[in-house]
Amino acid sequence: MIYKGNLGFIRKFLATYPEEVTVEKLLISAEKLKELFFETIEQNNILTIDEELIPLLNYIEKRNTS
């Protein structure tokens, strides 16, 4: 059973799937997933992001701009 509150997340998650498998499209997809991850964590009252994880997540952004 899918709850209505989850539909927005599911749609956003499915929108991260690339139309084709190329380096550029995969990097764009990775950036979308990262944004969705941060958005999801920010909405949570219990979970926080481990500070050691941020450099790894930012690596995706650096690769995308290279």
Tens of pLDDT, residue by residue over 9-36, are 899 999 999 999 999 999 899 999 999 9
Domain that holds residue 9: 4-65
Q: How confident is the model at residue 53 (pLDDT cuts 50, 70, 90)?
A: confident
Q: How confident is the model at residue 5 (pLDDT cuts 50, 70, 90)?
A: low
Helix H segments across 20-52? Answer: 23-43
Q: What percent of the chain has pLDDT over 70?
A: 82
Task: State the sign of the Cα–Cα–Cα–Cα dihedral 10, 11, 17, 20.
Answer: positive
Vertex 22: Cα angle to 15 and 25 (nearest 5): 35
**Number of domains forming the structure of the chain:** 1
